Amino acid sequence: MTPVRVEVDGQRCQGHNRCVIACPEVFESDEYGYSVVKLPEVGPELEPQVRLAEADCPENAITVERASTTG
Amino acid sequence: MMNDDRIQALARDFRHHDEGLDVAFEVYRELREGCPVGFSEHYGGFWFVTRFDDIHRIEQDPETFAVSPGMLLPPMGNERPGVPIDIDPPMHGKYRRVMLPAFSPQQIDRLEPMVRRSAIGLLDTFAHERAVDVAARYAVPFPMVVFCELAGLPTDESGKLEDWINRIFYVRTHDYDSTLRAAAELTSYITSVLESRKGEEPRDDLFGRLLTAEIDGRRLTDEELADYGFILVVAGLDTTAWVLRSSLWYLAQHPEDRAKLHEQPELVATAVEEFLRCLSSVQGMARTVTRDVDLNGHTLRKGDRVLLVFGAGNRDEAKFPDGDRIVIDRQPNPHVAFGAGIHRCMGSNLARRELRVALEEFLIRYPDFSLASGSDPVWYGIDPLPLMLDGSGRA
């Protein structure tokens, strides 16, 4: 399985931190509590958690996409 | 036609306080279905929005749906808008930024030992009792103890704070004069606390942060300090107390969920989200329409008030399958108990942590508890919740 690419839209994120709870391996929060992606490419072992983070986000700020074969 | 009349009557009589809460969940269901946007005659007249997607859309459009003059309906009696809750952009974001680091997840991690100690300390006070009103002895004092520690306030004044907050939130629907007086008294109390600290060395607590905060290269004015301090005090006490009480109310009546949480304490975190989704203190927050706008076939006029009924949106089946059922390991759970958009509750990380820790510690001591015999407490508010802590009460 190819990895997935994870992004947080900084304009949409309001600091709920649901993603940090769902998948602390991939998301962390900055000093104001806004989400930052620390691991943008995620393998299959963490994919369920980043999918959960995406679905848990009340702002729809997270996108998880199958990375292209070249990327 | 008959049904339509009935729905219209439900809409006109809709309210998210007092007796309205007795029937809230049935009414939400009917309104989401038959009248997703409607107009209530209570509290001076207001539009309400009950579907998740509509609530969400409004939260993402703060230009059309402003918070000024206030987010609460009815208002909480403060003379000037609360900071930052009742403030619109551009000042809103600047105000938030000065306090956000105090409520960041990293900061809450550092506070967790204190939060846990506070919970344990209160549980110890009734360790030898079997019949306990856990609202008065646990749910209400717990956020108070944590907040006083966090804000740098003496806990021996918590009785005064409790009284003011009670009159600000629970009396405003029927005795607004009392609410006005309470808000004025609380404001002058906060002013005097802040005043007394101005000459001191800056302390590392919430009020210390306020006193040293800068916006656009200047310190906050006395009025800004008082209006920010007011919100810090009122926002996180009875709100958290309510959800802790309603969580215990639910668990007292659901032995299977109690057992599950006792065996798998890691599920307390998802259970907390579920209690927030279904039994939360903030059932709705209001906006003011800044220009005429259409919403589901209704025209809302500039100046109209509109209530975002979070409690209804959080049970919307279009977003949450089997939305009226509490499923303690529900995932995903993107509820808006803390609102969404730019006004997301600033204390949400703290509230979540307090609830998780308080329930964890309670369940460690009391794997089996039940409502006291003969009691029939309502799900909402902070009124007594008498429990039998050995499970010997009501079946």
A18 interface with B at CB cutoff 8 Å: yes
Q: How many CA atoms lie within 13 A of B250 on its CB side?
A: 21
| More confident position, B123 or B153 | B123
Q: Cα(B344)–Cα(B268) distance, rounded to whole angstroms?
A: 23
Is residue B104 packed enough to be buried (19+ CB in 10 Å), middle (13-18) or exposed (0-12)? Answer: buried
β-bridge mates for residue B289, sequence order: B65
Alpha helices per DSSP H over A1-71: 18-22, 47-56
Amino acid (1-letter code) at residue B15? R
Distances (CA, A) of B36 to B27, B32, B289, B302, B325: 11, 4, 17, 20, 20
Q: Cα(B122)–Cα(B158) distance, rounded to whole angstroms?
A: 14
Residue of A9, A12, A14, A19 to mutate, interface with B, max B Cβ within 10 Å = A14
Please report the residues numbered 322 through 351 in chain B whose beta carbons come closer than 8 angstroms to any beta carbon of chain A.
331-336, 338, 340-342, 344, 348-349
Q: Is residue A58 reached through a cis peptide bond, with omega within 30 degrees of 0 on the bond before it?
A: no
**pLDDT tier, B2 (very low <50, low <70, confident <90, very high otherwise):** low
Q: Cα(B15)–Cα(B74) distance, rounded to whole angstroms?
A: 10
Mean pLDDT of chain B: 96
Rg (CA), chain A: 11
Percent of chain A residues topping a pLDDT of 90: 89
**Mean pLDDT, residues B158-179:** 94
Q: Cα(B91)–Cα(B276) distance, rounded to whole angstroms?
A: 29
3-state helix, strand, coil in chain A (%, to 5): 20, 25, 55
Q: A41: which 2 tokens?
A: 């490419």
Residue bearing tokens 């600290």: B197
**Mean pLDDT, residues B222-232:** 97
* Cβ neighbours of residue B141 closer than 8 Å, sequence gap 6 or more: B122, B158
Q: What is the reported pLDDT for A54?
A: 98
**Mean pLDDT, residues A28-42:** 97
Sort out which chain B residues have CB atoms less than 8 A from A27's CB and list them: none
**pLDDT tier, B394 (very low <50, low <70, confident <90, very high otherwise):** low
**pLDDT tier, A34 (very low <50, low <70, confident <90, very high otherwise):** very high
Compute how many other C-beta atoms are within 10 angstroms of the C-beta atom of residue A11.
8
Task: Give the gap in angstroms from C-alpha A17 to the nearest C-alpha of chain B.
Answer: 8
Q: Is the pLDDT reported for residue B258 higher than 70?
A: yes
**Beta carbons of B290 and B269 less than 8 angstroms apart:** no
CB-nearest partner of A52 from B269, B331, B341: B331
**Mean pLDDT, residues B22-50:** 98
Q: What is the reported pLDDT for A22?
A: 97
CB-nearest partner of B340 from A52, A55, A59: A59
Q: Is the pLDDT reported for residue A68 higher than 80?
A: no
**Mean pLDDT, residues B268-292:** 98
Task: Give the gap in angstroms from C-alpha B334 to the nearest C-alpha of chain A.
Answer: 4
- Whether residues A56 and B334 touch (CB distance < 8 A) is answered with yes
Percent of chain B residues topping a pLDDT of 90: 94
pLDDT single digits (tens) A46-63: 999 999 999 999 999 999
**pLDDT tier, B157 (very low <50, low <70, confident <90, very high otherwise):** confident
DSSP A69: T
**Mean pLDDT, residues B366-388:** 96
Query: β-pairing, B285-289 with B305-308?
Result: antiparallel
Q: Is the pLDDT reported for residue B299 higher than 60?
A: yes
Mean pLDDT of chain A: 94
Q: Is the pLDDT reported for residue B370 higher than 80?
A: yes
Q: Cα(B99)–Cα(B349) distance, rounded to whole angstroms?
A: 13
- Closest by alpha carbon to B351, among B247, B262, B264, B254? B247
β-bridge mates for residue B391, sequence order: none
- Closest by alpha carbon to B115, among B149, B88, B138, B83? B149
- Whether residues A32 and B100 touch (CB distance < 8 A) is answered with yes
Q: What is the reported pLDDT for B199?
A: 85
Q: Cα(B193)–Cα(B229) distance, rounded to whole angstroms?
A: 10
- Whether residues B97 and A56 touch (CB distance < 8 A) is answered with no
Compute how many other C-beta atoms are within 10 angstroms of the C-beta atom of residue A8.
22
- Whether residues A32 and B101 touch (CB distance < 8 A) is answered with yes
A40 interface with B at CB cutoff 8 Å: no
**Beta carbons of A25 and A12 less than 8 angstroms apart:** no
Kindly identify which residue of chain B lies nearest to residue A61, measuring between CA atoms: B341
- Whether residues B344 and A20 touch (CB distance < 8 A) is answered with no
Amino acid (1-letter code) at residue B347? G
Amino acid (1-letter code) at residue B171? V
Q: What is the reported pLDDT for B391?
A: 72
Kindly identify which residue of chain A lies nearest to residue B107, measuring between CA atoms: A31
Q: What is the reported pLDDT for B3?
A: 78
Please report the residues numbered 66 through 105 in chain B whose beta carbons come closer than 8 angstroms to any beta carbon of chain A.
97, 100-101, 103-105
B266 interface with A at CB cutoff 8 Å: no
Q: What is the reported pLDDT for B279?
A: 98
Output the furthest CA–CA distance in chain B (Å, rounded).
69
Task: Give the gap in angstroms from C-alpha A2 to the nearest C-alpha of chain B.
Answer: 24
- Whether residues A15 and B334 touch (CB distance < 8 A) is answered with no
Q: Is the pLDDT reported for residue B1 higher than 70?
A: no
Q: What is the reported pLDDT for A71?
A: 47
A55 interface with B at CB cutoff 8 Å: yes
Compute how many other C-beta atoms are within 10 angstroms of the C-beta atom of residue B292.
12
Sort out which chain A residues have CB atoms less than 8 A from B344's CB and list them: 14-16, 58
Q: Is the pLDDT reported for residue B333 higher than 90?
A: yes
**Beta carbons of B133 and B386 less than 8 angstroms apart:** yes
Sort out which chain A residues have CB atoms less than 8 A from B56's CB and list them: 58
Distances (CA, A) of B226 to B18, B144, B194: 29, 19, 8
Percent of chain B residues topping a pLDDT of 70: 99
**pLDDT tier, A69 (very low <50, low <70, confident <90, very high otherwise):** low
Angle of helix B238-252 versus helix B141-151 axis, rounded to 10:
150
- Whether residues A20 and B105 touch (CB distance < 8 A) is answered with yes
Q: What is the reported pLDDT for A70?
A: 56
Q: What is the reported pLDDT for B188?
A: 96
- Closest by alpha carbon to B282, among B340, B354, B207? B340
**Mean pLDDT, residues B220-236:** 97
**Beta carbons of B185 and B234 less than 8 angstroms apart:** no
Q: What is the pTM of this model?
A: 0.97
Q: Cα(A59)–Cα(A8) distance, rounded to whole angstroms?
A: 10
CB-nearest partner of B101 from A14, A20, A31: A31
